[in-house]
Amino acid sequence: MVCYQIRVVGKVQGVFYRASTKTVADELGVKGWVKNEVDGSVLIEAEGTKDKLIDLMAWCKKGPLHAKVDSIERIEVDLKHHNVFLIRH
């Protein structure tokens, strides 16, 4: 198990990015959270197997239909042992 913080930059707010991320994370069995940042980016903290997180990041690069992702950044952080995947406000 690994935990990544993933920052997604681009047109990623107001396009159902958080809700879509939760749907994908739930399908993959990834735990953690997603939230909008004041700078217009989306921040995701995701825990799971490395393979599942690679799948999540591949989805993050394109996002939902109306998103335009310019870049994503990933850092590995300590495991938090999340039980679910939440949308934070």
Give the residue numbers annotated as catalytic, written as ranges: 18, 36
Separation of alpha carbons 17 and 50, rounded Å: 22
